[in-house]
Structure 1
Amino acid sequence: MGDKAQTHPGAAGRARAADHPQSVRNVVLVGHSGSGKTTLVEALALTAGAVNRAGRVEDGGTVSDYDDIEHRQQRSVQLSLVPVEWDGIKVNLLDTPGYADFVGELRAGLRAADAALFVVSASDGVDGSTRMVWEECAAVGMPRAIVVTHLESARSDFEEMTRTCAEAFGADDPDAVLPLYLPLHGPQAPDGHAPVTGLIGLLSQKLFDYSTGERKESEPGEDQLPVIEEARNRLIEGIISESEDETLMDRYLGGEPVDVKTLIEDLERAVARGVFFPVLAAAPAGEGARQGLGTVELLELITRGFPTPLEHETVRVTTIDGKPRELKPCDPDAPLVAEVVKTSSDPYVGRLSLIRLFSGTLRADQTVHVSGHGLADRGHEDHDVDERIGALSTPFGKQQRPVSHVIAGDLACVAKLSRAETGDTLSAKDDPLLMEPWQMPDPLLPLAIQAHSKPDEDKLSQGLARLVAEDPTMRLEQNQDTRQVVLWCLGEAHADVALERLRSRYGVQVDVVPHRVSLRETFATKSAGRGRHVKQSGGHGQFAICEIEVEPLPGGSGIEFVDKVVGGAVPRQFIPSVEKGIRAQAARGVAAGYPLIDVRVTLLDGKAHSVDSSDAAFQTAGALALREAAADAKIHLLEPVAEVSVLVGDDFVGAVMSDLSGRRGRVLGTEQTPGGRTLIRAEVPEIEIGRYAIDLRSMAHGTAGFSRRYARHEPMPQQIADRVREEERKAS
């Protein structure tokens, strides 16, 4: 694998629609921001003949022409598909953002792929978030390989990086993370750095020189053989230890030679099974070069070592009413089952849905059933409708290349699916099915917004609906308590991209305002009040008097109304009116304008008039009585408290617990979890964790995560309550 010289460059080129799942490879590129994923995709596209030496596709544009926002921010913010062809195999390269705020795009790429390339920078190493994604892939058995980039850096060291990868990714078996090639260094520069100009194949014991921009094969020198032999022996032992032939290790240790063909076949099977993880090196092509260093070897690994869609673990499929449905894996002739893994808007063709077909065949202009997707709590309504799709196409940069059909195992873009959103299932209209949705991170950073002007206000609702349709990691909240529109995001960069898309893509200018939590009020002491509503202005008057007593109740009790009127002082038909007026006033608040909770209101006495008393009059009297009782009582401002669970590496436990205490949090306990992590459970006022998603990421260097859920409302400390009231007064 990778040691066979590429003797037929004409076999590589632009990808066509696949005719069989066996001829498809779906590969997701994973790595931290700046590791070189997009540059690597461009280098692979050049080597495969999909772009020319200027990096441009034959019908215009470049492979990296994905999003105007990406160009402005100088980083990837969304999943991008680049299909190429190599040795008759269609390779769908899924380039994912490396920044933690766009982990939803990464999860979509993992869902659509059958194998993963972990891209690590030789100068930066392996960060904590990349390790976490590796563990996610390991949990589902996804085949993986590692590509070391930035070898041109003076600080790069391939051998040291390989050891780092073995430590980071080979916790269970370091010998399962080994290089297939060693770097071939050119003449030493004046600064002492010897640039990498080629690769040394450990299995074939051949040199592959890229210094001229074309891959050239030669024999190693005598001085290189000892270095090759040591690394080669370790690689062979690593491959044999994962071989399905249990006798091979004994034969090898007994001195029996193992031919290279057998080793390569065992290597390919071990990679496809997800038990061996080869390390390769790659670099972009220099000016005028046709092939980037290591790109041929990488394409050969993908096409010969990575699994076909036929080997993808069968996804769970049910009927619309939840009954399990068995399907033959990745059969083009089986019932249609596809999933929308990404939704985007194109200014010329409208909404585009990137889909992965898991079963059946999809044709242009076909009518499909759209089902899904269980994210109603995030502002994404469930779907159960028929839609006629538009054109099918294969994307390449900003170009869309039309195709007539897509088979099981392949990826493509579908136009004009106006109702489908990311995560929805497409199936036959006469056989509607539903795929189990993939897990999405919970957005925990609130962004309160309001329209900048009246024209923006008219377009805001539609713009927000389209925005959340594209991004299932975003949650839209219309908070009735605070009367705020809140976009819940994964981080600051995620929020910035959302605002930019609203402005540039949907023409909506919004202002960001301080996020408010849902506060409440309650009585701290018992109090009494009298409501008198008497008006005589000629004609039919209004007469209602009621006397009440209010006392505090334990948290979570709500509003309790008790009738203790005797002797008919308040006629029976008007007692519900008093209660209605009291509850309406409680909802409006009695001190700072927040809803009143956790009190018992007892109606003790009152007066009525045979002619002038009415339902409306007693409602007004009840409200007045509650306000009078509040004026003579101490009112507590209550703040929501959240149950917070933080999963963090053991190295950061002390810092996180100290930080939680500084946020007025109460740590309830800790629990050790696998992988050297600790789960911290605490209760923290919600007003203190508005930016916790950002602060925790900074504190734990991107290796921690947290979840939260509402627990209850508690009295707010007096000094903080006074500050909140003052801020409210200034805002009004």
Structure 2
Amino acid sequence: MADRASGTASGAAGRAPAADRPEAVRNVVLVGHSGAGKTTLVETLLAATGTIQRPGRVEDGNTVSDFDEVEIRQQRSVNLALAPLTYNGIKVNLLDTPGYADFAGDLRAGLRAADAALFVVPATDGVDGLTRMLWEECAAVDMPRAVVISKIDHQRADFGTALAACQEAFGDGVAPLYLPHDGGLIGLLSQRFYDYSGGSRVGRDPSPDMLETIEEQRGVLIEGIIQESEDESLMDRYLGGEEIDTKLLIEDLEKAVARGSFYPVLAAGGGIGAEEILEIVTQGFPSPLEHPMPQITTIDGKPVSGISCDPDGPLVAEVVKTTSDPYVGRISLVRVFSGTLRPDMTVHVSGHGLADRGHEDHDVDERIGALSSPLGKTQRPMAKCVAGDICAVAKLGRAETGDTLSEKDRPLLMEAWSMPEPLLPVAVRARSKADEDKLGQALSRMAAEDPTLRLEHNAETRQLVLWCMGEAHADVLLDRLASRHGVEVEKVDLRVPLRETFGGKCQAMGRNVKQTGGHGQYAICHLEIEPLPSGGGFEFVDKIVGGVVPRQFIPSVEKGVRAQMERGVLAGYPLVDIRVTLYDGKAHSVDSSDMAFQIAGQLALKEAATKVPVLLLEPVDEVSVLVADEYVGPVMSDLSSRRGRVLGTEPVGTGRTLVRAEVPQLEITRYAIDLRSLSHGTGTFRRTFLRYEPLPSHLASKVTAAED
């Protein structure tokens, strides 16, 4: 760390950083809300190590991380981006993640591929709800973390306020190692001032005005480190007035950071703080050898033990991100957990089978292409990728995000990581016949890249529905369809699948008699129709006596009734929850037929619809909303305003409440967007179909008017 001798940087834009052993690798994910400064920090670290010449726009007018055409147009990070560098002989894979909740899939992929996390919090804004949630997510798996307070050079920067916000949001163990001061940083352990005003770091003794701040903050830091020390005598010695050796404190600090029990706070901005961050990353963060191995099984689900982060072990790797390049085809970002990946190997690809999201299960052998280390749009060749390292792999035509790569004669499967459920439905249609012909293949490719996208071809509403994470996610998907795949689509109003049922009991006749010379049609049936309780389905009762309807035509009547039920009798929605009784009818020895009685059954059902009210039924979901305590009241009020019935609440952990309610689907088509706004990004929800209920008359009249 900066309190030791200054580190050395190495790397160049034309040469890929290399690692031949896991202990020489650090995989670090950068987490923070949009605008926190993650991409700027990545480029600052790349420049500090000589990997690029300067921060900012370094390649074809694009930044190292935001090089996707959608990112350039929309000027925001929407992809997971890998930026490798080398510092003091350690290869550091920086994983820059999007700062929008809509792109949680890429964020989760970054967490999966990393062994530690840098939380980036701007000195201008503090901690948002999404960042709090991700901190809790990392805490649940004991991921080591550090905090970088960015933008300390901004005119509105307030390091003290941002630090207090981090300590309040993230809890115990959060303490600064450095304090920004007059164009540099004060090292609390070394009691040195690192001056960046000349463009490079120069260490010198602190001025008298810094000493009081150092004394106060240094004591808090030392006590925090000692509390995490494995040497139980240190605290007594410190409280007894003994001066604890700085080298010993640094060693204890690094151990506490590596095991995820102490979270150092650093500062960055205006060229300040790069070396301090790199030293924490390389000396404090753990190597892949210290990262727990995800659960591994055989293809048929039998647990496999004994696999570790060993370059000589069996190959186990995972596709954490898939992208399509218009020139080189599909590129897979792969984290190697065991073994060594080499160009032109034949590997086994095992899929997890998220069929409901358009990801079919598959187990195939594929020969991989070249390995590379990406830097913006540039792919720098790699001779191999050892256990613990991350690389880009070309020509994996069947592999999708989340798939496992293993040896072809020993296929294995890694436990899938948790993926958020897409809950915003967006109905689309192709703008032209040419677009329609290309749409299916384009969406299949996009689903392979993005496991948070779910495709639904709703046969009932005859709509293509993209289930997305939010509005920004939907906009990016439609943008990519047009720019990358040349497919133009337009949004259309989402149709919620309603149902129809009869509001009372009645009798009706279906008369299908046509005599036109030659073979005619003759079928008459008398039906009694009555509603069943919700969820009762359909019952057909035969009460024919005396053979007035021949036995062979009774199933024909039922078949005709079922066909008309599918088409509906009011607004074109399926008819449900009725009992139909065939109690009388007539037939002709020559002109009666199966089709004639089918038509008669349909006509009888239509006539019944003119005799009693036909009710529209709407689907109702059971909705569970997890939200911070301070938003429980607004959430409950909002659910009630959506014709929802709040069933109850229950506390979940500290500071969170689960709200359960029953809400009509018509009222929650955009709830993914509205809840995020209502809860300041802290709320999540799940929905499960519950039952159908009558649609209020004023809404039913609007639906029928629209159908007319």
How much has 1:120 moved relative to structure 2?
A: 0.3
Task: Note if 1:37 corresponds to 2:38.
Answer: yes
Q: Look up the match of 1:675.
A: 654
Q: Contact 2:65–2:96 at 8 Å: present in 1 too? A: no
For residues 501 and 279 of structure 1, the distance between their equivalents in structure 2, rounded to whole angstroms, comes to 38
Q: Look up the match of 1:235.
A: 221
How much has 1:22 moved relative to structure 2?
A: 0.4
Q: Look up the match of 2:443.
A: 464
Give the one of 688, 692, 696 matched to 2:671.
Answer: 692
Q: Look up the match of 2:6.
A: 6
Unaligned runs of 5+ in 1: 186-196, 285-291
For residues 41 and 607 of structure 1, the distance between their equivalents in structure 2, rounded to whole angstroms, comes to 83
Q: Contact 1:12–1:85 at 8 Å: present in 2 too? A: no
Q: Look up the match of 2:255.
A: 269
Give the one of 666, 669, 682 matched to 2:645.
Answer: 666
Q: Contact 1:31–1:119 at 8 Å: present in 2 too? A: yes
Q: Look up the match of 2:104.
A: 103
For residues 15 and 549 of structure 1, the distance between their equivalents in structure 2, rounded to whole angstroms, comes to 78
Stretch moving more, 376-385 or 150-159: 150-159
Q: Look up the match of 2:470.
A: 491
Q: Look up the match of 2:288.
A: 309
Task: Note if 1:638 corresponds to 2:624.
Answer: no
Stretch moving more, 610-619 or 465-474: 610-619
For residues 64 and 687 of structure 1, the distance between their equivalents in structure 2, rounded to whole angstroms, comes to 40
CA spacing shift, 1:346–1:521, aligned 2, 3 Å:
same
Counterpart secondary structure, 1:631: coil
Give the one of 549, 556, 568 matched to 1:570.
Answer: 549
For residues 682 and 510 of structure 1, the distance between their equivalents in structure 2, rounded to whole angstroms, comes to 35
Q: Contact 1:338–1:355 at 8 Å: present in 2 too? A: yes
For residues 312 and 253 of structure 2, the distance between their equivalents in structure 1, rounded to whole angstroms, comes to 32
For residues 593 and 415 of structure 2, the distance between their equivalents in structure 1, rounded to whole angstroms, comes to 57
Counterpart secondary structure, 2:609: helix
Q: Contact 1:116–1:142 at 8 Å: present in 2 too? A: yes
For residues 711 and 620 of structure 1, the distance between their equivalents in structure 2, rounded to whole angstroms, comes to 34
For residues 255 and 107 of structure 1, the distance between their equivalents in structure 2, rounded to whole angstroms, comes to 46
Q: 1:562-614, CA deviations, whole angstroms, 9 ceiling, x for partnerless residues? A: 11111122122221111111111101111111000000111111122222222
For residues 249 and 119 of structure 1, the distance between their equivalents in structure 2, rounded to whole angstroms, comes to 31
Q: Look up the match of 1:283.
A: 269
For residues 698 and 103 of structure 2, the distance between their equivalents in structure 1, rounded to whole angstroms, comes to 38
Structure 1 counterpart of 2:143, one-letter code: M
How much has 1:7 moved relative to structure 2?
A: 5.9
CA spacing shift, 1:429–1:704, aligned 2, 3 Å:
same
CA spacing shift, 1:209–1:396, aligned 2, 3 Å:
same
How much has 1:9 moved relative to structure 2?
A: 4.4
Q: Look up the match of 2:197.
A: 211
For residues 339 and 506 of structure 2, the distance between their equivalents in structure 1, rounded to whole angstroms, comes to 71
Give the one of 170, 188, 200 matched to 2:186.
Answer: 200
Q: Look up the match of 1:140.
A: 141
Q: Look up the match of 2:320.
A: 341
For residues 82 and 644 of structure 2, the distance between their equivalents in structure 1, rounded to whole angstroms, comes to 44
Give the alignment of 1:116-195 within 5 angstroms.
Answer: 116-170=117-171, 173=172, 176-185=173-182
Q: Look up the match of 2:633.
A: 654
Q: Contact 1:445–1:691 at 8 Å: present in 2 too? A: yes
Q: Look up the match of 1:332.
A: 311
For residues 9 and 524 of structure 2, the distance between their equivalents in structure 1, rounded to whole angstroms, comes to 95
Give the alignment of 1:223-262 within 5 angstroms.
Answer: 223-262=209-248
Counterpart secondary structure, 1:579: helix
Q: 1:221-252, CA deviations, whole angstroms, 9 ceiling, x for partnerless residues? A: 23322221111111111001001122222222
Stretch moving more, 131-140 or 2-11: 2-11
Task: Note if 1:605 corresponds to 2:571.
Answer: no
Structure 2 counterpart of 1:127, one-letter code: D
How much has 1:373 moved relative to structure 2?
A: 1.5
Give the one of 548, 558, 564 matched to 1:585.
Answer: 564
Task: Note if 1:319 corresponds to 2:298.
Answer: yes
Q: Contact 1:50–1:57 at 8 Å: present in 2 too? A: no
CA spacing shift, 1:159–1:627, aligned 2, 3 Å:
same
How much has 1:401 moved relative to structure 2?
A: 0.8
Q: Contact 2:525–2:586 at 8 Å: present in 1 too? A: yes
For residues 642 and 222 of structure 2, the distance between their equivalents in structure 1, rounded to whole angstroms, comes to 54
For residues 627 and 11 of structure 1, the distance between their equivalents in structure 2, rounded to whole angstroms, comes to 77
For residues 7 and 202 of structure 1, the distance between their equivalents in structure 2, rounded to whole angstroms, comes to 18
For residues 604 and 329 of structure 1, the distance between their equivalents in structure 2, rounded to whole angstroms, comes to 73
Q: Look up the match of 1:194.
A: none
CA spacing shift, 1:639–1:61, aligned 2, 3 Å:
closer
Q: CA RMSD in A?
A: 1.5
Q: Contact 2:79–2:98 at 8 Å: present in 1 too? A: yes
How much has 1:558 moved relative to structure 2?
A: 1.2
For residues 487 and 399 of structure 1, the distance between their equivalents in structure 2, rounded to whole angstroms, comes to 32
Q: Look up the match of 1:719.
A: 698
Q: Look up the match of 2:600.
A: 621
CA spacing shift, 1:9–1:594, aligned 2, 3 Å:
closer
Q: 1:130-164, CA deviations, whole angstroms, 9 ceiling, x for partnerless residues? A: 00100000001000000001112232221222122
How much has 1:345 moved relative to structure 2?
A: 0.8
How much has 1:282 moved relative to structure 2?
A: 0.8
For residues 12 and 119 of structure 1, the distance between their equivalents in structure 2, rounded to whole angstroms, comes to 25
Structure 1 counterpart of 2:87, one-letter code: W
Structure 2 counterpart of 1:133, one-letter code: L
For residues 10 and 475 of structure 1, the distance between their equivalents in structure 2, rounded to whole angstroms, comes to 43
Q: 1:386-437, CA deviations, whole angstroms, 9 ceiling, x for partnerless residues? A: 1111111111001111112111111111111111111111111111111111
Q: Contact 1:355–1:412 at 8 Å: present in 2 too? A: yes
For residues 27 and 337 of structure 1, the distance between their equivalents in structure 2, rounded to whole angstroms, comes to 20
Give the alignment of 1:14-53 within 5 angstroms.
Answer: 15-53=16-54
Counterpart secondary structure, 2:410: coil
Q: Contact 1:51–1:58 at 8 Å: present in 2 too? A: no
For residues 34 and 346 of structure 1, the distance between their equivalents in structure 2, rounded to whole angstroms, comes to 27
Structure 2 counterpart of 1:257, one-letter code: E
Structure 2 counterpart of 1:229, one-letter code: E
Structure 1 counterpart of 2:178, one-letter code: Y
CA spacing shift, 1:54–1:248, aligned 2, 3 Å:
closer
What's the TM-score, normalizing by structure 2?
Answer: 0.98
Give the one of 340, 352, 377 matched to 2:356.
Answer: 377
CA spacing shift, 1:297–1:395, aligned 2, 3 Å:
same
How much has 1:57 moved relative to structure 2?
A: 6.0
Q: Contact 1:61–1:399 at 8 Å: present in 2 too? A: no
For residues 241 and 306 of structure 1, the distance between their equivalents in structure 2, rounded to whole angstroms, comes to 19
Q: Look up the match of 2:417.
A: 438
Give the alignment of 1:398-409 within 5 angstroms.
Answer: 398-409=377-388
Give the one of 514, 517, 521 matched to 1:538.
Answer: 517
For residues 9 and 316 of structure 2, the distance between their equivalents in structure 1, rounded to whole angstroms, comes to 36
Q: Look up the match of 1:288.
A: none
Unaligned runs of 5+ in 2: none
Counterpart secondary structure, 2:43: helix
Q: 1:165-206, CA deviations, whole angstroms, 9 ceiling, x for partnerless residues? A: 111101xx2xx1100011121xxxxxxxxxxx1111111111
How much has 1:362 moved relative to structure 2?
A: 1.1
Structure 2 counterpart of 1:46, one-letter code: A
Percent identity of equivalent pairs:
68
Q: Look up the match of 1:287.
A: none
Q: Contact 1:66–1:80 at 8 Å: present in 2 too? A: no
How many aligned positions are there? 707
